[in-house]
Amino acid sequence: MRESSISLTFDKDLPRTEERQIIQTARHDPQAFGELYRLYADQVFRYLYSRLGNVHEAEDVTAQTFLAAFEAFDRFRQDGNFAPWLFTIARNKAMDHFRRNKKQEPELSEEASSTEDEPLSSVIQSEQALALSRLIQGLPEDERELLRLRFLAEMTYGEMAHFLHRTEQAVKKTIYRLLARLQSQLEVSNGKIK
Partner 1 sequence: MEKSNNSTQFEEDIRQSFGVPKIRSEFVAQLHGELIKRAVEKTPKTIPSFRLRPAWIIVFAVLSVMIVATLVIGPQRVFAAVRGLLGYIPDVGIVDNSVPIRVLAEPVGVTRDGITLTVTSATLTVDRTHIDYRIFGVPGSAYPDREDVMGCTQSEYLRLPDGTQLTRMDNDFQPVPAGVNNAVFVVPCIFNTLPGTVPENWELPLSFVPAPPDLAVMPVIELSPSPQASLLPDATALPESAGTSTALVDSAVTVNKVIETEDGYILVGQVQPQSKSGETTQITGDLEIRDASGKVVSYTHPADVSQEIAGASTGGTGWAVQFKAAGLVYPLTIRFPGVYLFQPDPSATAGFTFDAGPNPQPGQEWSPNQDIQIAGHTLKLVSIMADSRGGYSFRFQVDPEVYSASVQIEGSTPNGGGGGGGGGLTNGEFNVTLSYAQIPSGVLTVILSNLTLIGDPLTWQGQWSPTSPRADLPANPTLQPGVCLTADSLAQLEPAPSTLSNGKALLYEKLDDTGKWGLVLYNLDGSQKQVVVPAGNWGALSPDGNRVAYSATDNGIHIVDVTSQTEEILPGAGGFNLHWSPDGKQIAYVGMGDGVINSVFVINTDGSPGRQVSTWSYEAVIGWSPDGTQLYFVAPFTGGAAWKVYAYDLGSGAAQERFTIENGTAKFLNPKLSPDGNWIAYRGRDNSSLYLVRTDGSDMHLVLDNAGAVGIEWSRSGWLGVSLRKANSDESSTVLIKPDSCEAYLLPAALQGELEGLFIP
The footprint of partner 1 on residues 103-122 (CB under 8 A) is: 108, 110, 112-114, 117-118, 120, 122
Q: How far is CA 4 from the centre of its chain?
A: 31
Among 98, 105, 158, 185, binds partner 1 (CB under 8 A): 158
Tell me which residues in 25-84 interact with partner 1 (CB under 8 A). 25, 27-35, 37-38, 41-43, 45-46, 49-50, 55, 59, 62-63, 66-67, 70-71, 74-79, 81, 84
CB of 193 to partner 1, least distance (A): 15
Reported in sequence order, the residue ranges of 114-189 that DSSP labels E, i.e. its strands, are none
Instruction: Select 165 or 192, whichever has its Cβ closest to partner 1.
Output: 165
User: 29-34, long-range: CB within 8 Å, 24+ apart, which pairs?
Assistant: 30/70, 30/73, 33/69, 33/70, 33/73
Hey, what amino acid is at 33? F
Q: Which of 107, 176, 182, 185 binds partner 1 (CB under 8 A)?
A: 182
Q: Does 7 bind partner 1 (CB under 8 A)?
A: yes
Contacts of 93 (CB under 8 A, 6+ apart): 48, 61, 64, 65, 68
Residue 163 engages partner 1 in binding (rule: CB under 8 A): yes
Q: Report the residue number, 105 or 179, with the smaller CB distance to partner 1.
A: 179
CA–CA gap between residue 175 and residue 147 (Å, rounded): 8
